Structures are given as C-alpha cells and as structure tokens.
Amino acid sequence: MRATTIRQQISTPARVGGWLRAFWPPLLTFLLVIGLWEAAVRGLSIPLYLLPAPSQIVATFMERPGYLLRIGLATLSNALAGCAIGCTLGALVAALCVRWPIAADGIVPLAVAASAVPIIALAPLMGIWLGSISPASKIGVVAVMTFFPTLVSVYRGLISPRADALLLMRSYAAPPRDVFTRLRAPAALPFFFSALRVCTTLSMIGAVVAEFFGGPQNALGVYIKTQAGILRTREAWSAILVACLLGLAFYLLVLVAERIAMPWRKEQ
C-alpha cells in the first residue's frame, strides 16, 4: 500500500468532518450572540450613545468603508512593521543565546519576566522618545511587545532537540552551522509560529492602543478615541469592527504561512 493512499484514507474524511465540526459551533455561537445583542438593543431601547445594534454598526461602516479601511490599513501597517521588527530581533537574540549559553543565562530569565510585564504601559513614553504623531512610536511599542515572547519561545525551540538528535549530528561530525540549520532551526519552527500567532494579536492591540496616546488623524486608534470622546458611539464601533476584521485577517495570514512552512504538521 502506498503512503499517499494511507494518508488520504485516514485524513480526507477526517479532515472534512473535522473542519465542519470545528467550524460550525463557533459560527453558530457567534450568530447567536449577535442576534441577542441586536434583540437586546431593540427590545430594551438602549440609547444609541451607550450601545448601537450590530446592524447600525455595519450600516455606519457601509457609509464610508473606503475611509475606514484606509485608516485601518495605516494602523495595520504599523502593527505589521512592529511585529516584523520585534519577531526578527527576538529570533536573532534567541539564536545568539544558543550560540553563547553565557548570554542565555543572563538574558532568557529576564525575557521571561518581561513577557509577563504590561509593556503597553510604555506607550506614552514611546511618544516622548520617538514622537507622538509619527508612526515610529507605534512601531516601537509593537516591536517591544512582540520581542520578548518571540525571544523566549524561539529559544525554547532551538534548545528543544533531544540528546540523541544532537549525538546523531556529532556522529556525522557535522559543523555547528549544519547543527543549527538542519536541526535546531527546523525544530524551533513550530515554537516560532506559536509565538507569531500570539504576536499578531499583541501587535494589533499595541498599534491601536498606542494611537490612543496620539497619532496622525488618519489612524484607527485616534479615530476610535476621538469619536468615543464626543459620544459618537456608532462611528467608534465601526472602527472597532475594522480593527477586528484586520486583526483576524492578520491572524489567518499567519495560519496560512504556518501551514505552508510546516507541511509535515498538516495532519498532526
């Protein structure tokens, strides 16, 4: 029997069934919550400035989708840039820590501690350091927020190969470069992606919240804060909707990249 046939036999029905099973319950729950929300707002006559109904939020979004998406993308690009910088530096420092264990002893425990600290609190200071209007301060917040979890996770991945796997490399008299590229780095890939998934959400949060402390007019956080400040709740919500959609899109992008980068994990 060929391996491919076995693979298909086992996983094709399981995969389709699994998708259906995994997909429907959250979708139904989501629709239910939206329905309840809509009914509550209408039934209880909740004033618009307190909580608009989902239908009103969508209608507000549809009035100016181009503008909202444009300011959304401005914020998303800060999130992406910050995340790219933070994750790349985090992975690099993790690699250095594996190369020089002395550095790891000093850096890794601090990074673990830093991962538990609310770095978002730095946002107002970043405005002072990098300019409160410029995107640099938002990118800076996101980069710092994503740096530590990536560093910790990738470091754990790089040291995850078991003793036997390393002895095997030794038995081939493999140079350190090969041990890194053919063993440590691929072993760290799942750790990197799980960090990246956390970092996508962190970076959207970071980018939006950083804009609460100032930023250009055309930015999601600034827009939400301004609209909420003058009790234009519908407008604020329509921007929150955009933040959610873009955050989800970013997350899905990472999931797709993960699937492409790690084909051996498809059926695990």
Taking the complex as a whole, the smallest distance from the CB of residue 180 to other proteins amounts, in Å, to: 12
Asked if 260 touches other proteins (CB under 8 A), the answer is no
Under the criterion CB under 8 A, does residue 264 sit at the interface with other proteins? yes
Closer CB to other proteins, residue 137 or residue 153?
153
Of 6 and 16, nearer to other proteins (C-beta) is: 6
Q: Which residue, 6 or 231, is less far from other proteins as judged by CB? A: 6
| Range 164-183, binding other proteins (CB under 8 A) | 164-165, 167-174, 178, 182-183
Closest distance of CB 263 from other proteins, Å? 8
CB 222 to other proteins: min, Å: 44
For other proteins, which is the closer residue by CB, 171 or 217? 171
Site for other proteins in 188-217 (CB under 8 A): 189
Quick one: 11 or 55, whose CB is closer to other proteins? 11
The residue among 26 and 264 lying less far from other proteins, judged by its C-beta, is 264
Site size toward other proteins (CB under 8 A) is 27
Q: Does 3 bind other proteins (CB under 8 A)?
A: yes
> Rounded to whole angstroms, how far apart are CA atoms 233 and 169?
61
> Which single residue is written with the structure tokens 């008299």?
173
| Binding interface with other proteins (CB under 8 A) | 1-4, 6-7, 162, 164-165, 167-174, 178, 182-183, 186-187, 189, 262, 264, 267-268
